[in-house]
Amino acid sequence: MSEVERKPIPAIPKEAQVMISILRDLGIQDYDPGVLTQMLEFSYRYISNILEDARVYSNHARKRMVDLEDVKLAVQVNTEQTVTGPPTREVLLDLAQSRNNTQLPLVKPGVGLRLPPDRHCLTNTNYRLRSARGGAGQTARGGKTNGVSTPQFNIQIQPSGNKRKWDE
């Protein structure tokens, strides 16, 4: 290849190369280029916050320079503030013991499936048929086909709510 045909490779900063190697080590080959930018921004913000906290701790201890112990303390405090761990096994066992000491309510004897009140169920009909025969509050259209009258029904949807109102 001649130098005219050769395309210049964009220079990748060292930090971005480290992020690329981290992604490759995790087995991630296909990712959006914006992921690198987000990872770099997150790491920069995290490290900046840790170093600022370490400087505050160093100043509080009246030291001239930030040392390793200040950085370790800053990381520990940051981790305690942002990361929460699961409760210990003993805490979970105590909670389970106190919860299991409460008896369940007795099952009332009865026949059939026990359902909550009608207003909480989806098993109620939410429509009404208007038959072709007519009647109180009913309108219908009927027709004759081959000399046999066939009723037609109109379906009306009831408004949802606790009380039922029939359209008149």
Q: Where are the domains of the chain?
A: 14-80
Burial of 102-125, coded b for 16+ CB within 10 Å and e otherwise, reads: eeeeeeeeeeeeeeeeeeeeeeee
Is the predicted pLDDT of residue 155 greater than 90, yes or no? no
Which tens digits make up the pLDDT trace of 13-70?
899 999 999 999 999 999 998 999 999 999 999 999 999 999 999 999 999 999 999 9
Question: CA angle 33-37-40, nearest 5°?
Answer: 135
* CA distance from start to end of the chain: 87
Would you state the pLDDT for residue 41? 95
Q: Which two tokens stand for residue 79?
A: 């981790």
- The CATH code belonging to domain 14-80 is 1.10.20.10
Q: Which of 50, 49, 73 is nearest to 61 (CA)?
A: 73
Classify residue 51 by burial, with Cβ atoms within 10 Å: 0-12, 13-18, 19+.
Answer: middle
DSSP H or E segment with residue 118: none
**For residue 151, what are the β-bridge partners?**
142
